[in-house]
Structure 1
Amino acid sequence: MITPKMSDAINAQINAEMFSSYLYLSMSAWFSRTGLPGFSSWMRAQAKEEDFHAQKMFDYLLERGGKVELEAIDKPEINWESPLKVIEAVADHEAKVTSLINELVNCALDERDHASNIFLQWFVSEQVEEEASVGEVLDRMRLVGNDSAGMFAMDMEMSKRVFIEPVGK
């Protein structure tokens, strides 16, 4: 049985993951309005990935006998100054999510909840991958700058990403 403190922390993270999905859908809509369908598609894949993370935590909490308590999801930003500002916001957001995951691990350690600690290690690794992936995109965006041909090429490349649910969840 999961402790109330750990259950509350995971419930809060489910909400954070759902907000991430919502934020990335908002970014997808912005890219679509801006005429960058490849970036829009990339952001939709990001949103699906965040939804998967929330579902994974949802299922884990139920499996451990916890009570899922869904809360309202905050309204995300809807406007950005430029494609670069969107990707910078994604990088900042992923860094925030990493800190939230780290706090969950700390909670599991404080609660001596070894099962949750093991479960959360998947998310720790996932965040390393997320930050690296977004960092690569950010680096290329900075190289492209205001070059429209470069932005067009990046948009084409970004459209290739699809979210595939990991096997074995």
Structure 2
Amino acid sequence: MKDIARQSMSIKVESMDMLNGQIKMEAHASAIYLAMASWCEQNGFFTSAKFFFKQAEEEREHMMKIFNFLIDTGGSPISPEISNINHDYSSIVDVFESTLEHEVKVTTSIHNIVKKARELGDITTERFLDWFVMEQVEEENTIRDILDMIEVTGTEGVGLQMIDNQVANWIE
């Protein structure tokens, strides 16, 4: 039965394996954002904490979207183990710079899966990932906007409070 089911999958095995890697990356992102929310709460950046709680939930939704896609295409999604979550940041700038660095890695990973799906002729996976490609444009742009705002505002004195207050503009 197992061999028959694998032969009738509508997803290529290589695509499935890469998407399982993406599931892990999205779950890891969710955990990272929870840690960032905790850091923000502990350091008085309450609006930024709300932003990261929301981001954590979005990353989990992304993970589940991929998980369900694998189920729908006859694949075998794997529930990931998550470890190596950083809980220590030197500043709010460090938090958002780390966020951008992570989002760029996610973008690169999604682009690599799209390229592989294209190479394999796995049109279903390629089309499925269109939404993720555009979502990453939005994610990176949001964090770049926040970092630009931080640079303009500065991090001295009341600047930190202004930064935290302004992050509310990016909570949907």
Check the 8 A contact 2:31/2:85 in 1, yes or no.
Answer: yes
In the TM superposition, residue 143 of structure 1 has moved relative to its aligned partner by 1.8
Check the 8 A contact 2:11/2:124 in 1, yes or no.
Answer: no
| Cα distance per residue 1:6-28 (max 9 Å; x no partner) | 11111110000000000000000
Which has the larger displacement, 153-162 or 111-120?
Answer: 153-162
Aligned to 1:111: 120
Alignment of 1:60-71 (within 5 A): 60-71=69-80
Give the share of equivalent positions with the same residue, in percent: 31
User: Match for 2:93: what amino acid?
Assistant: L
Alignment of 1:117-128 (within 5 A): 117-128=126-137
**For the residues of structure 1 that align with 2:155 and 2:25, how far apart are their CA atoms?**
33
Where relative contact order (Cα < 8 A, 6+ residues apart) is larger, the structure is 1
In the TM superposition, residue 161 of structure 1 has moved relative to its aligned partner by 5.0
TM-score, normalization by structure 1: 0.91
Flag the structure with larger Rg.
Answer: 2
Aligned to 2:99: 90
**For the residues of structure 2 that align with 1:88 and 1:98, how far apart are their CA atoms?**
15
Q: Does 1:41 align with 2:50?
A: yes
**For the residues of structure 2 that align with 1:57 and 1:2, how far apart are their CA atoms?**
12
Aligned to 1:81: 90
User: Match for 1:25: what amino acid?
Assistant: L
SS at match of 1:148: coil
**For the residues of structure 2 that align with 1:66 and 1:58, how far apart are their CA atoms?**
9
In the TM superposition, residue 3 of structure 1 has moved relative to its aligned partner by 1.5
* Gapped regions of structure 2 (runs ≥ 5): 1-9
Aligned to 2:3: none
**For the residues of structure 2 that align with 1:34 and 1:79, how far apart are their CA atoms?**
11
SS at match of 2:80: coil
Judging changes above 3 Å, is the alpha-carbon distance between structure 1 residues 128 and 160 closer, same or farther for their aligned structure 2 residues? closer
In the TM superposition, residue 162 of structure 1 has moved relative to its aligned partner by 4.4
* Gapped regions of structure 1 (runs ≥ 5): 164-169
TM-score, normalization by structure 2: 0.90
